[in-house]
Amino acid sequence: MNYDKLSFVLAGELRKQIVKELEIPKSPLQLTKALKKSDSSISRSLTELEEQEIIKNLFPDKKKGRIYQLTKEGKEILKKL
C-alpha cells in the first residue's frame, strides 16, 4: 500500500468520491451524473488520479467512449476509504 497515494485521495473529497464510484468501471459522463459535479472538475480529478496510477483509462486512444477503472493500487486504496 502506497500511503502517499492514499493521502492524495483523502486530501480531495471529489477524488475520494470518484474512487468509490469506480468500484465499477464508469465513463466521465456517468461520474458527472452520479456525483452531480461539473464536467471540468470530474475531468481534472480523473487526470490527477490517472497520473498517480490510481485509475486507468481502458481506451486511451479514444476521445469519446472512455471508461475508467481502478488499478490494483486503486482497489487497495478503495478498501481503506
Backbone φ and ψ for 62, nearest 5 degrees, come out as -95, 140
Please compute the mean of the pLDDT values over residues 49-58 and round it to a whole number.
96
Report the pLDDT value the prediction gives residue 44, as an integer from 0 to 100: 97
How long, in residues, is the chain?
81
Report the pLDDT value the prediction gives residue 73, as an integer from 0 to 100: 96
Mean of all residue pLDDT scores within the chain: 95
Question: For the structural domain made of 3-80, what CATH number should be given?
Answer: 1.10.10.10
For the chain, the first-to-last Cα distance in angstroms comes to 13
Summarize the chain as % helix, strand, coil (round to 5). 60, 10, 35
Tens of pLDDT, residues 60-72: 888 888 999 999 9
Parse the chain into domains and list their residue ranges: 3-80
Backbone φ and ψ for 21, nearest 5 degrees, come out as -65, -30
**Residue 3 Cα to chain centre, angstroms:** 17
